[in-house]
């Protein structure tokens, strides 16, 4: 079996993350194809509605609850309208909806919540399965003393302290507070609106992946509704091939996942946090220094760095005035060590920028760090792409 952590270590000196470009033109309209009305009768829709439990609801175009559920987070795909939407409350209802869609010949597409919908994969003219109602979060600690306790700088970690099971509608924003309040840790992403389902099925990159792996590395089991409507529990010991395919690397197209069970760690102590910013004049030296730091710390699991560059505004003057460069991250170790790693970046910029950047380096709790590191994509029309850099393919000044 491929070890994802080894892939992560071997291939990544830095990641150019999701570069988003707002689209100014309205999205192309896409309504359910005419043959849908011919193939799927009103009676078919009535039978679907009657077969659902009281915890789920069918919405059709014209229903008051339809528009907010039909609209995707990425408005680039706002014109793609489903023929029907099932707001799913149970795994059984997901299975019922999948079987029904198969019988009448409609595509069934799941959407875990708001998310990002980068490529429009949760947009459909068929049957949309909205999972946002499936919000359960249940934790199970491992009883008895634990021997897997290790210390990383100021942090003491009890490894494999228990499991947490979340429904397919749970987002990062739902999960983080629960984990933080209980001193529990599962590697997750930084965007509060992203569903845990999309995160883990896509791998799950965050500010702790070098230290504790991707989100998919913590997956113990997952409940999956297959294309024929059958429900299976996939794990290392049951449906192991399906379990492998659900752990970040195989396209996420094997069924509708309705719950996920993760192994969690228990944390004691603080982490180092920093947030650095410069004007656009410092873009080249910042990116050059950040790349050198990424290469130098490639095998230091404790250090994480994200560099961003962007702007906003409606006029050329606003766009220029708001343009800037930033770096953000955390460190599982002492602040003096963190400042030494960041020294090339802390030396860049005006005196005012250097002073503010130095002051931003501080200790916070892991829960505070997750809040400080969080950010999300604006709700608008956008396109995105990314590339992975290695020590042999770093960006040049050009």
Output the tens digit of pLDDT for each of the chain's 398 residues.
344 444 344 333 444 444 444 545 545 555 666 667 678 999 999 999 999 999 999 999 999 999 999 999 889 999 999 999 999 999 999 999 999 999 999 999 999 876 677 888 899 999 999 999 999 999 998 876 666 888 877 788 888 899 999 999 999 888 888 887 788 889 888 888 889 998 999 888 889 888 889 999 999 999 999 999 999 999 999 999 999 999 876 556 789 999 999 999 888 888 999 999 999 999 999 999 999 999 999 999 999 999 999 888 889 999 999 999 999 999 998 999 999 999 999 999 999 999 999 999 999 988 888 889 988 777 778 887 778 888 888 888 88
* Cα 276 to Cα 201: distance, rounded to the nearest angstrom: 31
* Cα 167 to Cα 379: distance, rounded to the nearest angstrom: 24
pLDDT of residue 327: 97
- List helix spans (H) across 182-282: 196-201, 209-212, 240-245
* Cα 93 to Cα 108: distance, rounded to the nearest angstrom: 13
- Decide if 156 contacts 268 (C-beta within 8 A): yes
- Decide if 252 contacts 224 (C-beta within 8 A): no
Written as six digits, the tokens of 277 are 């910013």
Dihedral sign (CA 167, 170, 174, 177):
positive
- List helix spans (H) across 142-195: 172-181
pLDDT of residue 14: 43
Please compute, for residue 158, the number of CA atoms within 13 A of its CA located in the half-sphere on the CB side: 15
Rg (CA), the chain: 23
pLDDT of residue 10: 39
- Decide if 390 contacts 301 (C-beta within 8 A): no
Relative orientation angle of helices 91-104 and 42-51, to the nearest 10 degrees: 160
Dihedral sign (CA 82, 84, 87, 89):
negative
156, containing H or E segment? strand 155-167
Burial class (CB in 10 A: 0-12, 13-18, 19+), 43: exposed
Written as six digits, the tokens of 224 are 């999956």
Cα distances (angstroms) measured from residue 115 to each of 96, 172, 247:
24, 10, 18
Cα distances (angstroms) measured from residue 139 to each of 109, 154, 166, 260, 382:
29, 26, 9, 12, 37
Please compute, for residue 106, the number of CA atoms within 13 A of its CA located in the half-sphere on the CB side: 32
Residues 311-356 pLDDT 10s = 888 899 999 999 999 999 999 989 999 999 999 999 999 999 999 9
Number of residues written out for the chain: 398
* Cα 347 to Cα 345: distance, rounded to the nearest angstrom: 5
* Cα 149 to Cα 171: distance, rounded to the nearest angstrom: 29
- Quick one: which of 334, 338, 312, 307 has its CA closest to 323? 312
Cα distances (angstroms) measured from residue 267 to each of 107, 161, 164, 358, 370:
43, 10, 15, 27, 13
370, containing H or E segment? helix 366-372
- Cα angle value 155/158/161 (rounded, 5°): 145
Residues 53-90 pLDDT 10s = 999 999 999 999 999 999 998 899 999 999 999 999 99
Its pTM stands at 0.86
pLDDT of residue 145: 64
pLDDT of residue 57: 98
Spatial neighbors of 139 by CB under 8 A, at least 6 apart, are 162, 163, 164, 165, 178, 182, 184, 264
Written as six digits, the tokens of 172 are 């990062």
């Amino acid at each position: 079996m491929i070890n994802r952590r080894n892939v992560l270590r071997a291939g990544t000196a830095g990641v150019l993350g999701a570069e988003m470009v707002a689209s100014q033109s309205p999205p192309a309209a896409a309504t359910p194809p005419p043959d849908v009305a011919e193939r799927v009768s009103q009676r078919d829709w009535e039978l679907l509605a009657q077969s659902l439990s009281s915890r789920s609801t069918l919405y059709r175009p014209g229903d008051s609850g339809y528009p907010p559920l039909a609209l995707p987070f990425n408005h680039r795909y706002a014109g793609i309208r489903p023929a029907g939407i099932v707001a799913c409350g149970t795994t059984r209802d997901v299975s019922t909806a999948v079987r029904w869609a198969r019988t009448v010949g409609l595509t069934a597409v799941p959407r875990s919540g708001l998310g990002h919908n980068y490529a429009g994969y949760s947009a459909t003219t068929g049957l949309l399965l909205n999972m946002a109602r499936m919000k359960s979060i249940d934790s199970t600690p491992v009883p008895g003393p634990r021997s897997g306790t290790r210390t990383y700088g100021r942090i003491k970690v009890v490894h494999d302290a228990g499991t947490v099971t979340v429904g397919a509608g749970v987002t990062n924003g739902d999960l983080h507070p629960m984990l933080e309040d209980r001193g529990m840790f599962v590697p997750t992403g930084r965007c509060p609106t992203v569903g845990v389902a999309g995160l883990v099925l896509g791998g799950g990159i965050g500010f702790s992946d070098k230290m504790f792996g991707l989100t998919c590395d913590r997956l113990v089991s997952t409940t999956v509704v297959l294309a024929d409507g059958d429900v299976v529990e996939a794990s290392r010991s049951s449906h192991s091939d399906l379990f492998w395919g659900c752990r970040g690397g195989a396209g996420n197209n094997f069924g509708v996942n309705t719950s996920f069970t993760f192994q969690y760690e228990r944390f004691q102590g603080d982490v180092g946090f920093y947030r650095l910013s410069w004007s656009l004049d410092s873009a080249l030296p910042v990116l050059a220094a950040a790349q050198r730091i990424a290469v130098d710390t490639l095998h230091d699991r404790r250090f994480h760095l994200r560099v961003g560059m962007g702007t906003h505004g409606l006029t050329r003057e606003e766009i220029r005035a708001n343009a800037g460069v930033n770096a953000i991250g955390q460190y599982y170790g002492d602040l003096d060590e963190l400042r030494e790693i960041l020294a090339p970046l802390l030396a860049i910029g005006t005196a005012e920028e250097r002073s503010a950047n130095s002051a931003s380096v501080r200790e916070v709790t892991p829960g505070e760090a997750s809040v400080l590191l969080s950010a999300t994509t604006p709700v608008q029309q956008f396109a995105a792409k990314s590339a992975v850099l290695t020590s042999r393919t770093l960006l040049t000044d050009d």
